[in-house]
Amino acid sequence: MANGSRPTADGILVLNKPRDVTSMEMVRLAKRVSHVKRVGHAGTLDPIATGVLPVCFGQATRLMEFMVDGRKIYRAEFTLGSATDTYDSFGAKTHSGDWSSITRTDVEALFPGFTGAVLQTPPMYSALKHEGKRLYELARAGIEVERESREVIVYEIRLMEFALPKLVIEVECGRGFYMRTFAHDVGLALGCYAHLTELQRRKAGAFTIENTLAPDAFEAAADEEAWRELLLPPDAALQALESLVLDSAAERHLRNGQTVTLPASSTYAKHLDTRRAYTSDGKFLAIVRFNRAESTWQPERVFNLSEPSRYAP
């Protein structure tokens, strides 16, 4: 690049994170391959986990919170008969129990109690902070602290495989749900203990496992800068939102951070409804929120993208 400047890119790379690497290692890989400075991931996966990891470049990093807030689908293997201090197979065994009499009915009978708005206590081995320190740092030092239970949303739980002492369970959930804690809690409820041995994130918001890219395939595209063709446009993350098309005057107002009135689009809108807004030539421009009292759309995020989006209406 001229004058030593770094290249830029705006988009989302949906990687299939391998096991035994961290989410931040995937970000560092993306930076090394692309030489783009502004890169981040949307939703941490534990080293034990594989699957959908959206990696955001440039202006797409401003959408990470929307991706983190989206629905997730996890598929996990639980091993009955022992609990560990990390709630997964990386930890030291703390308890053991007899699983031989557990039935499929026993397992599935637990699911209604874990579905809906439920309270879950985060594990000690997590990145949450207590008095400025990560919980996993305290845990490694042999310190355990009280953790406040948090409400999480679980939409559905499915038993995919029953082959004792292994269970394969799929969970559709909202933000903040810990599959390791769920494995631990299932083991306690069954009276035989359990821990997590495999985990795959199969869906994160708009992105599914079928559409992910292996990290080595991304690396292989680096030589001729073909990696740019692998990026999805930023608004790929917002497909659950309805869309609006703006005229030139409304576009100008939004770019200046001002509200706009779009009567036709407001007929069925509820207060605080969110939409994605496009210019008349198909460029993704903004996320806007409806103010029912004023019948106006207020800009939440405004973008400056040079290319029309394939997701434009």
Provide the annotated active-site residues.
46
Locate 154 and state its tokens: 């679980």
Q: What is the DSSP letter of 232?
A: B
Cis peptide before 165 (omega within 30 of 0): yes
Residues in CB range of 218: below 8 A, 6 or more apart: 13, 15, 29, 30, 33, 227, 230
β-strand 274-278 against 242-245: which pairing, if any?
parallel
Q: Is 221 exposed, middle or buried (0-12, 13-18, 19+ CB in 10 A)?
A: middle
β-strand 284-291 against 274-278: which pairing, if any?
antiparallel
Give the bridge partners for 166, in sequence order.
79, 163
Q: What is the DSSP letter of 192?
A: S
Identify residue 153 by its one-letter amino acid code.
Answer: I
β-strand 166-173 against 72-80: which pairing, if any?
antiparallel
Number of other residues whose CB lies within 10 A of the CB of residue 300: 14
Residues in CB range of 236: below 8 A, 6 or more apart: 12, 206, 207, 311
Cβ pair 199, 179 in contact under 8 A? yes
